[in-house]
């Protein structure tokens, strides 16, 4: 029933909200919103529309007019028809689509600018700007953090799956000199054995056994104390790396962390980092590693946005909807700065742009996010 209410309210917003349509003759900023209001991802479309409404309320400029249209869910014909309707309504800039697989269809609309929420590629592609939290932005933040922590031997870990080749290409741009790549099987039964080999677990466990046997018959104070300490350990000896970057999510990430902990990789000696987890609180309860670092959007702003959204619409927003919020802010900033938006060249600016998720930078034709590093500690997210 709640879903029906949400969808029903979204169409009320589309057809009746005075900020969404305009027939005024005055100069206005017309922005299309291309989102899936039907099909499999219709709840995402509704959430994106709500996010845009929040941004409109905060900007509070009646000269902004939003033209929302349904892109459908994996429906190229519907999407193209909706794009044409938006263009016919006078908009030269469109927020959407969310899926980078649709980009090929967008190039033919060369006079229209698309602000996509995709994070696949930060490169500005003719008439498409992607403002998602790209892997490049995340890796850049992690690399700086590792260097600042004076770590010199890094293992970059990620699973063998349909995204492996994609990650391979991104890793080529990493700003670390001394690193190795470790690709693992997502099956937890196989993963544990692979992690044991990576960490030389069997040898380190053997080293402990040999050392304990050596000390067993010693009766001097130092040997007795050492043996007592060793009884609390599972292995002896350090691994041959001092930091890890785990490019993974959800249960698969937790399996990797659990396997590293099982293989007796000490947090005192190894820095554990991963990619943006959108402040997933389940990490607190299922994570075997207590000190985990990752780059992300501004946590305070993210939390405030979620609270405003919940209060306004009585539902939780999708994670990427905050990107739509910032997309409208970015468009409005460019429009106010230039007095108009005529081409994608208007977005090639030197200034940093501060949004709700963080700070945008346009460098050499690419969009980067300046992300903060957060640490999971005592069931909290702490900015490092």
Mean pLDDT of the chain: 86
Q: How far is 136 from 297, CA to CA, in rounded Å? A: 14
The per-residue pLDDT for range 149-208, each reduced to its tens digit, is 999 999 999 999 989 999 998 888 777 788 999 999 989 889 999 999 999 999 989 988
Please give the pLDDT value at position 9.
Answer: 42
Task: Give all domains of the chain, ordered by start, each with its CATH number.
Answer: 2-132+299-368 (3.40.50.2300), 136-297+374-383 (3.40.50.2300)
Residue with tokens 């400029």: 61
The listed range with the strongest mean pLDDT (181-185, 232-236, 375-379) is: 181-185
Residue with tokens 């104070």: 221
Q: Which residue has the higher pLDDT, 11 or 367?
A: 367
Residue 319 confidence (pLDDT) above 70: yes
The per-residue pLDDT for range 117-164, each reduced to its tens digit, is 988 888 888 899 998 889 999 999 999 999 999 999 999 999 999 899
Please give the pLDDT value at position 51.
Answer: 95
pTM metric for this prediction:
0.84
Please give the pLDDT value at position 366.
Answer: 83
Under DSSP, is residue 266 helix (H, G, I), strand (E, B) or coil? Answer: coil
What confidence category does residue 286 fall into, taking pLDDT thresholds of 50, 70 and 90? low
Find out whether 13 and 53 touch, Cβ atoms under 8 Å: yes
The per-residue pLDDT for range 55-101, each reduced to its tens digit, is 999 999 999 999 999 998 888 899 999 999 999 999 999 998 877 77
Sign of the alpha-carbon torsion through 167, 244, 187, 184: positive
Burial of 36 (0-12, 13-18, 19+ CB in 10 A): buried
What confidence category does residue 17 fall into, taking pLDDT thresholds of 50, 70 and 90? very low
Residues 6 or more apart whose CB falls under 8 angstroms from that of 147 comprise 175, 176
């Amino acid at each position: 029933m709640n879903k029906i209410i949400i969808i029903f309210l979204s169409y009320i917003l589309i057809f009746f909200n005075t900020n969404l349509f305009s027939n005024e003759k005055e100069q206005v900023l017309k922005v299309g919103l291309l989102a899936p209001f039907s099909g499999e991802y219709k709840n995402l479309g509704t959430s994106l529309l709500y996010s845009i409404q929040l941004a409109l309320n905060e900007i509070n400029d009646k000269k902004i007019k939003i033209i929302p249209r349904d892109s459908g869910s994996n429906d190229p014909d519907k999407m193209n028809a909706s794009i044409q309707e938006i263009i016919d309504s006078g908009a030269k800039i469109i927020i959407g689509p969310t899926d980078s697989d649709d980009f090929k269809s967008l190039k033919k609309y060369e006079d229209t600018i698309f602000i996509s929420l995709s994070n696949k590629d930060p490169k500005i592609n003719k008439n498409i700007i992607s403002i998602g939290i790209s892997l490049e932005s995340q890796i850049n933040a992690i690399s700086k953090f590792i260097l600042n922590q004076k770590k010199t031997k890094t293992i970059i870990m990620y699973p063998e799956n349909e995204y492996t080749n994609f990650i391979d290409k991104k890793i080529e741009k990493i700003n670390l000199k001394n690193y190795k790549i470790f690709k693992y099987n997502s099956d937890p039964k196989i993963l544990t054995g692979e992690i044991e080999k990576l960490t030389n677990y069997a040898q380190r466990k053997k080293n402990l056994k040999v050392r304990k046997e050596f000390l067993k018959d010693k009766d001097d104070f130092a040997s007795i104390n050492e043996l007592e300490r060793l009884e609390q350990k599972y292995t002896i000896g350090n691994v041959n790396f001092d930091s890890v970057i785990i490019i993974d999510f959800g249960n698969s990430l937790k399996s990797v962390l659990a396997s590293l902990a099982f293989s007796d990789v000490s947090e005192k000696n190894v820095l554990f980092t991963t990619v943006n987890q959108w402040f997933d609180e389940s990490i607190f309860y299922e994570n075997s590693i207590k000190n985990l670092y990752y780059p992300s959007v501004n946590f305070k702003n993210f939390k405030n946005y979620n609270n405003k959204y919940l209060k306004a619409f009585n539902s939780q927003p999708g994670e990427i909807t905050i990107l739509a919020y910032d997309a409208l802010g970015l468009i409005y900033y460019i429009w106010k700065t230039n007095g108009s938006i005529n081409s994608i060249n208007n977005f090639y600016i030197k200034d940093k742009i501060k949004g709700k998720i963080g700070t945008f930078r346009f460098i050499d034709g690419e969009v980067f996010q300046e992300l903060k590093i957060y640490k999971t500690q005592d069931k909290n997210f702490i900015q490092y």
